[in-house]
Amino acid sequence: MREDRKIGNCTVLFGRDGGKYPEGNSLLVRGADQTLLVDPSLGVVARKGALPGADHIVLSHCHEDHVAGASLFPEARGHCHEADLPGWLSFDGMMAIYGFDDPAISAGWETALREQFCYAERDDAEAYADGAVWDLGGGVSVRAVHTPGHTRGHCALWIEPDGILYLGDIDLSSFGPYYGDAWSDLGDFERSLSKVRGIEAAHYATFHHIGVVDRPTFLARLEKYQAVIGRREERLMAFLAEAPRSLDEVAEHRFVYRPGDPVSFAAPVERRSMGQHIARAVREGRVREVEPGRFLADVV
């Protein structure tokens, strides 16, 4: 496990393999009066008993890997953006975020949530909105910046006075943006990428993979990260230009995951992700629905 990194009032708690999924990199922020823990991951579970108490648990968004260690802090106040709050209030709300319609996939995922990710409902979780501020004392504060797309309520968090922008699952990875859940939105994700690009910080921290980078590195990685969206769409348009295709055929071909990768939920993720690209291309006149449920791209 990478050694934790302290930056001013913040400590980045690295997960195994640099926070590679299902692990993640949590953030501990200490003020003069209170302590706040962002996205308690499996890495926090592994540190059970070795961390200080927390007055606040703040989720950047409600996904399995971000709540794994939350139940270790029952006395802390729990906070989640209002758009994602149903996922922490109840198990059914959490499953709605993913929106799996295959009973076998749903059953497997329910087991993983309970057993691997230690999911526990938090009926006293509090909603926060864009711009919410947690004043931790001594000039230390955390502010929510709504950056939807990955989920409806995904937020970045701005930590002062250390000038840290915590990006959550805008993770700058080579995999690229993930917008394959029922509560994901491609257009929102692209707008959020533009939003964080405009925020000048001394440090940028991600939940997965990258860890902490400076602004020049952030900008370079962000450009490559966003370019993955364009590459997926180029490959999709080429596939649709060959012959009319159904969304199931598109999902089977795979544009998000590599063919053969053992991902149990790949099919619904591919359908949702590529379905958004197709819907946009249809609106823009680049793709035609030549018969019900079959799409053809115009050759340019």
What's the rounded Cα separation, in Å, for the pair 144 and 205? 14
Cis bond upstream, residue 216 (ω within 30)? no
Q: Residue 50 burial (CB < 10 Å; 0-12/13-18/19+)? A: exposed
What is the dihedral angle through the alpha carbons of 118, 121, 124, 129, rounded to the nearest 10 degrees?
A: 80
List, for residues 205-226, the tens digit of each pLDDT value.
999 989 999 999 999 999 999 9
Query: Could you tell me the domains of the chain?
Result: 5-213 (3.60.15.10), 229-297 (1.10.10)
For the chain, percent of residues with pLDDT exceeding 90: 95
Among candidate residues 70, 75, 107, the one with its CA nearest the CA of residue 87: 70
- DSSP secondary structure letters along 153-182: T-EEEEEETTTEEE-TT----TT-----ST
Q: Give Rg (Cα) of the chain.
A: 20
Could you tell me the pTM of the whole model?
A: 0.96
Question: What pLDDT is stored for residue 294 in this prediction?
Answer: 98
Per-residue pLDDT band for 51 (boundaries 50, 70, 90) equals confident
Residue found by looking up tokens 């819907």 in the block: 279
Going by pLDDT thresholds of 50, 70 and 90, the confidence category of residue 108 is very high
Going by pLDDT thresholds of 50, 70 and 90, the confidence category of residue 44 is: very high
> Is 80 exceeded by the pLDDT of residue 105?
yes
Q: Is the peptide bond before 161 cis (omega within 30 degrees of 0)?
A: yes
pLDDT value at residue 300: 60
Question: What would the pLDDT profile of 245-254 be if each residue is shown by its tens digit?
Answer: 999 999 999 9
Q: How many CB atoms lie within 10 A of CB 285?
A: 8
